[in-house]
Amino acid sequence: GESVGLHLPTLSVQEGDNSIINCAYSNSASDYFIWYKQESGKGPQFIIDIRSNMDKRQGQRVTVLLNKTVKHLSLQIAATQPGDSAVYFCAENELSSGTYKYIFGTGTRLKVLA
């Protein structure tokens, strides 16, 4: 079946450097994507989203890039801080029974080194 997956399970980054978290998706019909951040002991929290009619979207210190040609999504975090340490998930929407459900990747753990 089609799925969303991540290339790297763990990413270690020096504080102050930029982080790039990657995600590959396989459902070419998906047209909406979200990145979530999950801190230890908490539920996932929305970071940023992007629609398939865009290839880039920026937020505060975060940028999401979408490459529909190779079905690839990435999350860039500028000037990574200790508070960015978490597990990051990408999710794609999928039409099912007249509504939309989200398929999540397996997650990437970001470790920020002091």
Partner 1 sequence: DVKVTQSSRYLVKRTGEKVFLECVQDMDHENMFWYRQDPGLGLRLIYFSYDVKMKEKGDIPEGYSVSREKKERFSLILESASTNQTSMYLCASAFYRGKTGELFFGEGSRLTVL
Which residue's CB is nearer to partner 1, number 71 or number 94? 94
Residues with Cβ < 8 Å from 83, sequence gap 6 or more? none
Alpha-carbon distance of 37 to 91, in angstroms, equals: 11
Tell me the closest approach of the beta carbon of residue 27 to partner 1, in angstroms: 13
CB 61 within 8 A of CB 77: yes
State the nearest-atom distance from the C-beta of 58 to partner 1, in Å: 17
| Binding footprint of partner 1 on the chain (CB under 8 A) | 9, 31-32, 34, 36, 41-46, 49, 51, 89, 91, 93, 96-107
Toward partner 1, which CB reaches closer, 72 or 109? 109
Q: Which is nearer to partner 1, 43 or 83 (CB)?
A: 43
Q: How far is CA 52 from each of CA 61, 90, 93, rounded to the nearest angstrom?
A: 21, 14, 11
